[in-house]
Structure formats: C-alpha cells, structure tokens
Chain A
Amino acid sequence: MKRVLVTLLTVVAGVAVVAGIAIYSSVAQAEPPALKAEVAGTLDTPQGTLPHATLQLAVYPNSSDKVPPPATPKSPLGQDWLSGQPFYHPTTTIQVPANSAVTLTFIQYDTGGQIYNPFFAKVHGTMDGTMTWNGNSVTEVKTDNIGHTFTVHQYPEATQPDFFLSVPLPMNKANAKTDKAGYPVDPQKIEVTFVTGDPGTYVWNCEFPCGDMYQEFGGPMQQRGWMAGTFEVVG
C-alpha cells in the first residue's frame, strides 16, 4: 500500500512540478503589451477606400532617464547584457486592423552605418513602393546611411495571406546635435502607408546589424521586446 502511495505521489508531484514551471516560464516571458493602431477616417487606395489606421514607433540607441528600457533578462546577480543597446519604443507587439490602410510613423534616434544586404536598403511592401523620409518621397536609402530596418515577414501559416514589408530607417549623423539624454534633437522621421489583407499573425525584426556579438546580430536583435517582435493583423 505504501508503495502504491509513493508511486502515485511521485506522479502527482512530477506533473505539478512540470505544470508549475511551464506556467511560470510562460507568464514570466509574456510578450510586451500590444500597441494598437488608432483608426481615424478613410484613405483612398488602389484597393478602394479603406479605413485608415495610424501608429507611431520610436527607435532609441539606448535607454536613459527619459526613456526606460524594455524588460530585460537579468542574471541572478542582477547583471544584464542588453542595457545600452538600441530598442524600439514603446513596445514591439504591434496590432493593426485587417483590410485597412495603415500608416506607420517611425522616429529614429540612432546612428548607423553600412547594411550587409542591399535588399533591405530598399522599400518593400508599401502602397506605392515609397516611403516619406523627412518629407521627401524615396524608394531606397543609401546602403551606408542606414540606422535600422523594420521588416515584417512571413509566419509559417499557409492559410493566412502573404505579407512582406520592409522599411529602411536612415541613420542620424554621428555629429548631430543631441539633447541632454544623448538623443538627436532632430531625429529622422519616416512614414510608410500600406494595405493589410485578411487577419494574420506575422513577425518582424530589424535587418540592420545593430546588435552585438558576431556580425552584430546578437543581443537585442535576438530578443523580443528590443529589436524583434510580433505584428498582428486583427479582424
């Protein structure tokens, strides 16, 4: 009898430990809260007149008193290896409405340099293939003048519509005038408009080597909440 009890206890304890760790890990690493695009008015597009949604994101080179960093993984002794790295603000979980025209505005505060793959120096996936950069309409940025990119790409679900959007975010010059927090007083402003289809979930990440470690694609570039996130088209 004692044997059966001990065996049962082992099973119950094992299941409880596994379930507990699973739930804790899942909750502790929840994605940052979503930023929803605001719908206001309509826009004429080649696909017809669609509701118009807008959303604004900023890219900071590092955190400061003015701009807190995203939740960062820390070692048990409190050390972290991501502070001081660039990140998207306020969040990396983006939600836009389906079957709408969406305008994304980026305020880019970081410097940059040479991008590895010239493909991402061009604009892809916007309504007319252009983006508005500080008021001018362009289709690409010089490959050595890029700070970050915002690249939304495929989720492996064949049932949701194909969606690809890539926006190069130009850099600020290294000698640009900065404010007290160290950010340029006159950052780069980029605006893109694109049309969303049916609902689906996608992921996005930066394709410019702005991280650290090998090829500068480590660190924040491999961390949701910093330079990578999810892009949801909700119905």
Chain B
Amino acid sequence: MTATDVRPDPDGPETPTNRPPSMHRVKNWIRRPYARGIMVLTVVIGFLLLPLCWLILAAMNQTGAPASPIMRDIEQTVFVFTLVSIPISAFVFAVLVYSLLGWKHVKGDQVPKDESPAIRSNTIGVVLWTVVSSALAFFLVVWGLIELAQITANSYGTIPADEQPADSQALIVNVTGQQWVWTFEYPQYDKITSETLYLEKDRPVYFNVTSKDVIHNFWAVELGVKIDANPGAITQTGVTPDKAGTFNVRCAELCGLHHAYMETQIQVLDKGSFNSWTREMGGGKTS
C-alpha cells in the first residue's frame, strides 16, 4: 500500500464522499483567486463584446441590405462567426488584463529576482485549448462548407446560365466591365443594353460576367454578389433579389485610372415596372 492509495477527503474526515479525484482537482483549481478572477473577467469582457454581433450587421445594412437570400445567409454567417469567436477572444483579453492587474508586476532597472512558478507545461491546459480551438475551427469549416454549397446552389456558380435547369422565370444579364463603365445586356429582351442594372423582384437572375480589358470585379453590394470580371473568360454567378429598391454596383478590383468611379446602380423593380422598362427600351421578350 503506497501513499497514493490513500486520498484524503478535502471536505474533511467527517463527510465521506464518492466524488472522483479529478473533481477535487477542478474544485481546488477554482478555489485559486486568479482562476476565479480570470473567469469573471472572461465573462465580463464577453458580454462587453456581445453587442458587436449586432453592430457589425448594422454597419453592413446601411444602404438597404440585405436584399437577397444570399445576403441574408452572409449576414447570418457573420453573426454566428462573431458569436463563436467571442469566448476565446474574451479569454485571451482577460488573461492580458489579469497579467497586468491581477498578478504581481515589478518596475525598475534592476533585473528582478525569479519569483514566478517555473511551469513548463500543463497537459490539461494544452489539451483543453487544442480541443476547444479545433472544435471551433471544425464548426466554422462545416458551417462554411454547408453554406457555400447552399449559396452555390442558389447562384449556379459552375454551370453556365444557358445550361441551367429549365426555369423559364430566370432573367439572364450579360455584364461587361470595361475601363471604367459597367454595361449590361439583356439577351432575352432583344439584347437591350443599359448602364444601370434593372432587375425584377423575386425573379432569379444569372449574370454572365466578363471584361473587355483588365480584371474588374462585379460587386452588387446589397445583394451579396461578387465575381471577378476577367478578360477572355466568362464567369457566372446568380441571385434572386427579394427587396425592391435602389442598390449599388461597385468595382472591387483596381482597374486603372477611374476605378473609384466605376459604379452604377441596381434598380430592383416589381414585375410590372420591370416589364414597362423593357418595353420602353425597345425589348420585346424573345426567349
């Protein structure tokens, strides 16, 4: 019989207990003042950071976003990612704060004598951190992969627009970026062209995006759509706008002198207004 067989009860000999030894370790660790201090700080900082989840969305929604399911997905992702990042960030900030305010500090020019505990490792801490950070990363990856599949399904990123499943409702717009103006062509409507993007509410639209010269980037801001406009290639994306209004297209890839001015507007109209616009531009529907 060795000393390790006998486990004295931390509650005292009067109250026997069935609690396993590991619970003693946790209980003793929590008793330490810094443990409680850091946990409290983590929770406090976490709550202070919590409003960020909503503030970030408020900043994104200042011009009418979200105006499509894709943008709503994106905002939900940002919300969840912020929420999920708060615990670890709060913990890190708490340790930073506590190390300055909670544990002792020494000033002056003299090299201080060694007072800190020489801890070279702590298995529980390392394992806990690895497991938690890996679990979080895994969660983010799985969330992101599922969402990417959903958004791709919504925008048919890899299938050319004219090979889409039979969906006679879909609107096709050929987007041409050229230094430094966006032009849009509607092949289904007698190829009418416009420098403002007109879309129909609740009708899926597929964009065939290309460039005549250098790389541009077609960014329909409030719709959450973005794809490079490459010369010599056609890239595709799509979205279904579900909110009427005026939104912005900006160029998001430096393309030369007037890159900053390469902006235009999106007008999302209801069905009647959209049809009268196409008629006004001289486009009878041809397909």
B261 touches A207 (CB 8 A): no
Chain B positions 161-203 with a Cβ under 8 Å from a chain A Cβ? 176, 178-181, 183, 185, 193, 195-196
Q: Is A116 an interface residue (CB 8 A)?
A: yes
Q: Are A117 and B176 in touch, CB under 8 angstroms? A: yes
Known contacts A156-B263, A215-B212; is-contact A119 B250 (Cβ 8 Å): no
A81 interfacial by beta-carbon distance below 8 Å:
no
Interface string of A65-94 (1 = CB under 8 A from B): 000000000000000000000000000000
Residues from chain A with Cβ under 8 Å of B258 in the complex: 203, 205, 228
Whether the pair B263, A154 counts as a contact (CB closer than 8 A) is: yes
A153 & B213 in contact (Cβ 8 Å cutoff):
no
Point out the residues of chain B lying under 8 angstroms from A158, CB to CB. 63, 248
Asked if B257 CB lies within 8 Å of chain A CBs, one says yes
Question: Bound state CA distance, A221 and B181, in angstroms?
Answer: 14
CB of A224 within 8 A of CB of B257, answer yes
Interface residues of B in 224-269 (CB under 8 A from A): 231, 248, 250, 256-258, 260-261, 263-265
Which residues of chain A (29-74) have a CB below 8 Å from chain B? none
The interface size bin for chain A is 20 to 34
Q: Contact at B256–A217, with CB atoms within 8 Å?
A: yes
Residue of A whose beta carbon sits closest to that of B248 = A158
Within 8 A of B (CB), among A99-153: 116-117, 119, 122, 124, 151, 153
A223 in contact (CB, < 8 A): yes
Q: Is the CB of A117 within 8 A of B256?
A: no
Query: Shortest Cβ distance from A169 into chain B, in angstroms?
Result: 16
Q: Given the interface contacts A151-B181, A217-B256, does A119 sit within 8 Å of B261 by beta carbon?
A: no
Of residues 159 through 204 on chain A, the ones whose CB sits less than 8 Å from some CB of chain B are 162, 164, 166, 202-203
Interface check A214, CB cutoff 8 A: yes
| Nearest B residue to A216, CB-CB | B213
- Tell me if B183 and A119 are in contact (CB < 8 A): yes
A228 partner residues in chain B, CB cutoff 8 A:
257-258
Selected contact of B265 from candidates A122, A162, A222, CB within 8 Å: A162
Give the total number of A-B pairs whose CB atoms are below 8 A apart.
66
Contact between chains at B257 and A205 (CB < 8 Å):
yes
Q: Mark B212-227, 1 if CB is under 8 A from A, else 0.
A: 1110000000000000
Residues of chain A touching chain B, judged by Cβ–Cβ distance below 8 Å, are: 116-117, 119, 122, 124, 151, 153-156, 158, 162, 164, 166, 202-203, 205, 207, 214-215, 217, 221-224, 228
Assembly CA distance A186 to B181 (angstroms):
32
User: Across the two chains, which residue of chain B brings its CB closest to A162?
Assistant: B265
Ordered nearest first, which 8 A-B pairs have the shortest CB separation? A119-B183, A215-B213, A222-B257, A116-B212, A203-B261, A156-B263, A119-B193, A217-B213
B residues less than 8 Å from A221 (CB atoms): 179, 257
| A interface majority secondary structure | mixed
Task: Please indicate the chain A residues that have their CB under 8 angstroms from the CB of B180 in the complex.
Answer: 153, 203, 205
Task: Give A195 Cβ to nearest chain B Cβ, in Å.
Answer: 17
Is the Cβ of B264 less than 8 Å from the Cβ of A154? yes
With both beta carbons as reference points, the residue of chain B lying nearest to A222 in the complex is identified as: B257
By the criterion CB–CB under 8 Å, are A217 and B261 in contact? no
- For the complex, give the distance between the alpha carbons of A214 and B214 in Å: 9
Please state if A164 and B178 are interface contacts (CB–CB under 8 Å). Answer: no
A222 and B257 CA atoms in complex are apart in Å by 5
Question: How distant is the Cα of A11 from the Cα of B90 in the complex, in angstroms?
Answer: 36
Instruction: Tell whether, in the assembled complex, residue A217 and residue B195 are in contact, meaning their CB atoms are under 8 Å apart.
Output: no
**Taking CB as reference atom, which chain B residue is nearest A228?**
B257
Question: What's the nearest-Cβ distance from chain A to residue B62, in Å?
Answer: 11
B179 touches A156 (CB 8 A): no
| 6 more A-B residue pairs beyond the given contacts A154-B264, A207-B178, A221-B179, with a C-beta to C-beta distance below 8 A | A164-B196, A203-B180, A205-B180, A205-B257, A207-B181, A217-B213
Residues of B within 8 A of A215 (CB): 212-214, 231
Q: Given the complex of chains A and B, what is the CA–CA distance between A151 and B195 in angstroms?
A: 11
CB distance from B270 to the nearest CB of A (A): 21
Cβ of B261 and Cβ of A154 under 8 Å apart?
yes
- Chain B residue contacts of A166, Cβ below 8 A: 181, 195
Q: Nearest chain B CB to A204's CB is how many angstroms away?
A: 9
30 contacts between A and B (CB under 8 A): A116-B178, A116-B212, A117-B176, A117-B183, A119-B185, A119-B193, A119-B195, A122-B193, A151-B181, A153-B181, A153-B195, A153-B261, A153-B264, A154-B261, A155-B261, A156-B250, A156-B261, A156-B263, A166-B181, A166-B195, A203-B261, A205-B179, A205-B257, A214-B213, A215-B214, A215-B231, A222-B256, A222-B257, A224-B257, A228-B258
Complex CA distance for A154 and B264, rounded to whole angstroms:
7
Tell me the bound Cα distance from A158 to B247 in angstroms. 10
In Å, the complex CA distance between A202 and B258 comes to: 11
